[in-house]
Amino acid sequence: MTGTALHALARTWVVVRDPSSVPLVRRRVVDQLTAWQIEMPTELTDDIRLVVSELVTNAVRYDTSDTPTLTTQVVVAPDRSELYFEVQDGTPPDLPTPRPARWGPEDELTVGGRGLLLVAARAKRWNIEPTEGGKRVWATFALPTTPNIPQRVRDTVRAHVRRAAPRIRIHALPTK
């Protein structure tokens, strides 16, 4: 490897197991990425927001342990190519099992059950692992590798492409 060796960037927040922690952690993660000067397309930020919300919401809702707190962590890999987010709660990982989404009239009877499917769809990888005190549920995202293009240029190009082909998702623009 040439050039300056970078180190991983990491931040941990211990929050109360309360619904108010969902927007709090979501905001902290996004603010921290800004503070680390990790530039990314708006769609990716939205995906990260959504996954953070789903994972923290689940931990708030379904952790039945005595632990009154959740431990959340965001890590950016040393080469800045990947973002990792995890939530640790105090309940062992016999659950969750994502249920398949159902469509049609049955929908009204199926309350919820889509959060982890959304996580699986938006994250690059995700998993549930046991910890000493319960479990961690984590998700990763690929980060764009062309930080030298100003965000405003990327946003403009992206807006043009989106208008022309709404289904294309751009996470990185070529440098040339």
User: If binding is defined by CB under 5 A, does position 115 make contact with Mg ion?
Assistant: yes
Query: Could you tell which of ligand ADP, Mg ion, none binds residue 113, using a CB distance below 5 to 8 A set by kind?
Result: ligand ADP
Q: Is 172 exposed, middle or buried (0-12, 13-18, 19+ CB in 10 A)?
A: middle
Distance CA 138, CA 84 (A): 7
Q: Which of 38, 45, 67, 98 binds ligand ADP (CB under 6 A)?
A: 98
Identify which range of 8-16, 21-29, 51-59, 149-157 contacts ligand ADP by CB under 6 A.
Answer: 51-59
Enumerate residues 6+ apart whose C-beta is below 8 A from 85: 29, 48, 51, 52, 55, 72, 73, 74, 75, 138, 139, 140, 141
Distance CA 22, CA 69 (A): 12
Query: Could you tell which of Mg ion, ligand ADP, none binds residue 157, using a CB distance below 5 to 8 A set by kind?
Result: none
User: If binding is defined by CB under 6 A, does position 8 make contact with ligand ADP?
Assistant: no
CB of 134 to Mg ion, least distance (A): 17
Site residues (CB under 5 A) for Mg ion, limited to 32-61: 58
Residues 1-32 as b/e (b if ≥16 CB within 10 A, e otherwise) read eeeeeeeebebebebebeeebbebbbebbbeb
User: How many residues of this chain bind ligand ADP (CB under 6 A)?
Assistant: 16
User: If binding is defined by CB under 6 A, does position 89 make contact with ligand ADP?
Assistant: yes
User: If binding is defined by CB under 6 A, does position 113 make contact with ligand ADP?
Assistant: yes
> Which C-beta is closer to ligand ADP: that of 96 or that of 147?
96
Q: Which of 26, 115, 136, 154 binds ligand ADP (CB under 6 A)?
A: 115
Are 96 and 128 contacting, i.e. CB atoms less than 8 angstroms apart? yes
Phi, psi angle pair for 132, to nearest 5°:
-60, -40
Binding site for ligand ADP (CB under 6 A): 54, 58-59, 62-63, 89, 91, 95-96, 98, 112-116, 137
Binding site for Mg ion (CB under 5 A): 58, 115
